[in-house]
Structure 1
């Protein structure tokens, strides 16, 4: 303390140490957010296609994607059948690291018993 208090150190006399070199490493590009949304869309489609609408009785269908960390609920799930085509319309919430979003979608029966997402859009 006596050295500092007696004038042994002064900010005016301090010089920049030019021997220290700093740098940064290039950051790896973050995966596009759309890839997470696409993965979540597939997860939601799987939940919609496998839901037993009669057994649900209007209750929400929870969904979660362990790969993206997203989760949500599927509501307003209805099945429409015009004789030739069977479709399911729904509303889904998506809670993820980038926020909360609401989607409307429609999934229709494709050939060989599979389902295909016809519409999936953010509201």
Structure 2
């Protein structure tokens, strides 16, 4: 048995011997390249994201936000000033320009162009909304500008 009173030199020797004994125990199984090779039995993959549903939600939500912005504008006081819009639900934003009011089949309608800045890029759209009832507007067209 080693006693601490024998000095730091003996203590260092004892720690070294203990460390070597542990290493020898680990190496007793041997080392082979076969054991170090890639484990082919593991199979990994990804779960496909439902990106179409996310794109549809974003587009539908942005269309509703733009429809609400276009329907709430007072065209007489607007002039040529663009109407800014932002959708907190999708992070998209943009500006509505060229707002023109007209009548179609007796309904009040508004045509416009809208820019849309989103995580998937920037686009310009042509749109049209018409009054569907008292205080209710419906989006008739919202297509990428040619």
Whether TM-score is above 0.5 comes out as yes
Offset of 1:84 from its aligned partner? Answer: 2.1
What is aligned with 1:8?
Answer: none
What is aligned with 2:86?
Answer: 64
Partner secondary structure for residue 44 of structure 1: helix
Partner secondary structure for residue 33 of structure 1: helix
1:29 aligns with 2:61: no
Offset of 1:34 from its aligned partner? Answer: 2.0
Partner secondary structure for residue 46 of structure 1: helix
| Structure of greater relative contact order (alpha carbons < 8 Å, 6+ residues apart) | 1
1:98 aligns with 2:120: yes
What is aligned with 1:121?
Answer: 143
Say which one has the larger Rg: 2
Q: TM-score, normalised by structure 2?
A: 0.66
Offset of 1:25 from its aligned partner? Answer: 5.6
Number of equivalenced pairs: 111
In structure 2, do the counterparts of structure 1 residues 112 and 20 end up closer, same or farther at CA, with 3 Å as the change threshold?
same
Partner secondary structure for residue 58 of structure 1: coil
In structure 2, do the counterparts of structure 1 residues 24 and 77 end up closer, same or farther at CA, with 3 Å as the change threshold?
same
Offset of 1:89 from its aligned partner? Answer: 0.5
- Structure 1 unaligned blocks of 5 or more: 1-12
In angstroms, what is the RMSD of aligned CA positions?
Answer: 2.4
Offset of 1:92 from its aligned partner? Answer: 0.2
- Structure 2 unaligned blocks of 5 or more: 1-31
1:48 aligns with 2:70: yes
Partner secondary structure for residue 134 of structure 2: helix
Q: TM-score, normalised by structure 1?
A: 0.77
